[in-house]
Amino acid sequence: MESLFIYLIKSSGLIGLFYLAYFFMLRKETFFNSNRWFLLAGLFTSILLPLLVITKIIWIEPTPSNINWANIPTTNYIQEKTFEDYLPLILIITYSVGTVLFLAKFAFDFFSLNSILKGKTIQKQADYKFVDITENLAPFSYFNTIVYNSTLYNASELENILEHEKVHSEQFHTIDVLISRLFCVVFWFNPFVWYYKKSILQNLEFIADSEALKKISDKKAYQITLLKITTQENCVAITNHFYQSLIKKRIVMLNKNQSKKWNSWKYTLILPALVGFVLLFQIKTIAQEKKSPNETQTKGEIIITIDKNFSDEELKKQVELFKKEYNCDLIFSEIERNSDNEIIGITVNHNKNIYGNETYKQQHSNNPINPFYIKGDLSGKVSIVNVAKNNKIEDVEKDVDSENDVVSITKEIFIDGAKVSKDDMDKLDPNEIESMDVIKNTSKQEIRIVTKKFNKTLLENEIYINDKKVDKKELLLLDQNTIDKMDVNKNEKTIRIITKNSNEIFNNSDAPTPPIPPTPPTFKFKSPKPPTFPKAPKAPKGSPINGDKKAWKEFEKKMEEFDAKMEKLEPQMEEFDKQMEEFDKQMEPFNKEMEAFDKKMKIYEQQMQEYQSNLKQQK
């Protein structure tokens, strides 16, 4: 359930990212078709990119613990049910109810469309289906079906409307509408998705207007038709309808000069943001400890008896066998034979003993060697044992020094930070050992063992020292004599340690200085405002033939006044076009400054990578 919430949040964030990119950089451009594919790509990217997870494995060196946990005071908390425990259930119920309601609304819109088309006469022409209705509805198209009320318009207006709707049908704009509606059902809680849907519908109208004008000679008549349609506010939600509430923007875009092709570079600005999203949220880092040679697990137990009759070829086979099964470097050296080819002296070295390296010798003499075993157990440990006269197996001396100086096992032994005796170590099951280090100094030797249970405790909890989050390695390097108190919170899965002198720990006065980011250019220009259009009169109910003739006569009079006002606006529209051209010229220096800023940002990012790398080295 938590994964579903995280996925929805990530997808919602990407939808918001694409919408903001469109709103601030692309909505005023006349690349209508490119904007269409940008908006659709944004929706599909928002649902697919959160599914891409890059796994990054960091290998860390195993570190022995020097903390005696038994001597440190701890505090255990009893987990109680809180509001947070019920919050996931509340959220899933709320989300499910909202989704069902919006899905029901989606289904109702299909039902409404079917009710309008049911029983109507369909006229087929080329690839289109024309349906002439009597209801007072704005013209609309659904796939290749175009619906209109011919009694509400004259021949010229109807021709303009049909050319517009044909563009919707030819370019399958209905698919865009349905996709945007489905996203509103799934992401209904995200306010950006509703603005996103509105932008998609508006851009589709820009496309249809632009393409229709290529086939219509009277641009002014088309704009008047747009204004007339605004009086019919009844429309079907899941269709491409000729009426749109943002009619002023459509007229502005009709009269706007084509955007310069070089402005298409703005589409690429979304790519760094997507890369940043992946780097921040889609890389899963897994820390794994490197296995020391003593940790390799084998397929089974192997016991090989070496006696006086072993040939050099047979010894070589044993070296290959132990290398394959235990990753053990087994070395036979100083082999000496008598005249009967019997072994009378041999030295054996390997690196897989529980204590470290092991060296076994049988002194050179005239007599053949006594048989001895090389044994590999289930835990991956290898040992060499003598066969005594009473047929018992007894451990031989272990050599932990690389120079073969024989040292007795009288050293300090620590298990999970606690000092123990050799008997305690002998009682420890080798299968319970996570890691072991043999440390030899000139004055003393230490064996430090970390059990699997203790290591699991460290990996499952977040560790804080003096309220600073640290990793396992930093904790194991902490001197236990500096610890004042430690709290283990099972509910929050945290280990919090307070030291006796927190000011002296983790003090780093040589931290590198972070780079300073470049300053973006200031946008000082104000876009010109379009002229204020008069409000179109609202058409009376019914048709001019069967409806209220007096109301329709009054409507025609108001339309004449409206046309006169629109004619007076033509000089203002021409002035607005000139202002827009001047505005585009003023934007050219700013765009160059933005290009220079982007180059500085790339340099800044490289400096930040070096800074973060230096920080890691400091730690």
Q: Which of 216-225, 226-235, 307-316 is predicted least confidently?
A: 226-235
- Overall average pLDDT of the 459-481 stretch: 74
> Who wins on pLDDT, 246 or 502?
246
pLDDT score of 275:
93
Answer whether residue 243 shows pLDDT above 70: no
Express each pLDDT in 582-605 by its tens digit: 878 888 887 888 888 888 888 888
- Cα(first)–Cα(last) distance of the chain, in Å? 36
Assign 268 a pLDDT band (cuts: 50, 70, 90): very high
- Locate 34 and state its tokens: 């490119």
Q: Which amino acid is at 306?
A: I
Q: Which of 423, 417, 421 is nearest to 435 (CA)?
A: 417
- Overall average pLDDT of the 490-509 stretch: 64
Residues 6+ apart with CB under 8 A from 311: 341
Residues 6+ apart with CB under 8 A from 255: 573, 576, 577
pLDDT score of 402:
35
> Who wins on pLDDT, 313 or 426?
313
Distances (CA, A) of 319 to 324, 348, 457: 9, 11, 38
Assign 417 a pLDDT band (cuts: 50, 70, 90): low
Q: Which of 185, 186, 209, 181 is nearest to 197 (CA)?
A: 181
Assign 52 a pLDDT band (cuts: 50, 70, 90): very high
DSSP alpha helix (H) spans, 478-569: 549-568
Q: Which of 580, 536, 591, 592 is nearest to 560 (CA)?
A: 536
Assign 236 a pLDDT band (cuts: 50, 70, 90): low
Q: Which of 113, 145, 114 is nearest to 132 (CA)?
A: 145
Q: Which of 193-197, 363-367, 391-395, 482-486 is predicted least confidently?
A: 391-395
The residue behind tokens 């050319």 is 163
Extended strands (E) in 454-528 = 462-465, 468-470, 483-489, 494-499
Rounded to the nearest integer, the mean pLDDT of the chain is 79
Q: Which amino acid is at 608?
A: M
Answer whether residue 78 shows pLDDT above 70: no
pLDDT score of 515:
76
Q: Which of 437, 495, 501, 502 is nearest to 462 (CA)?
A: 495
Q: Is 454 left (phi over 0), alpha (psi -120 to 50) or beta?
A: alpha
Share of the chain above pLDDT 70, in %: 79
Q: Which of 23-37, 255-269, 402-416, 511-525 is predicted least confidently?
A: 402-416
pLDDT score of 504:
44
Answer whether residue 408 shows pLDDT above 70: no
Centroid of chain to Cα 169: 37
Answer whether residue 447 shows pLDDT above 80: no
**Length reported for the chain:** 619
> Who wins on pLDDT, 13 or 303?
13
Answer whether residue 393 shows pLDDT above 70: no
- Locate 474 and state its tokens: 């930093």
Distances (CA, A) of 224 to 252, 501, 537, 597: 13, 81, 12, 44
Q: Which of 473, 60, 55 is nearest to 288 (CA)?
A: 60
Express each pLDDT in 191-200 by its tens digit: 999 999 999 9
Q: Which of 617, 618, 611, 600 is nearest to 515 (CA)?
A: 611
Answer whether residue 162 shows pLDDT above 60: yes
Cα–Cα–Cα angle for 104, 108, 111, nearest 5°? 145
How far is 368 from 307, CA to CA, in rounded Å? 9
Express each pLDDT in 290-299 by its tens digit: 654 444 443 4
Q: Computed from CA positions of residues 417, 421, 424, 429, in that sequence, does the dihedral angle turn out positive or negative?
A: positive
SS3 content of the chain, % helix, strand, coil (to 5): 50, 20, 35
> Who wins on pLDDT, 101 or 583?
101
Q: Which of 213, 221, 232 is nearest to 147 (CA)?
A: 232
Quote the DSSP letter at residue 306.
Answer: E
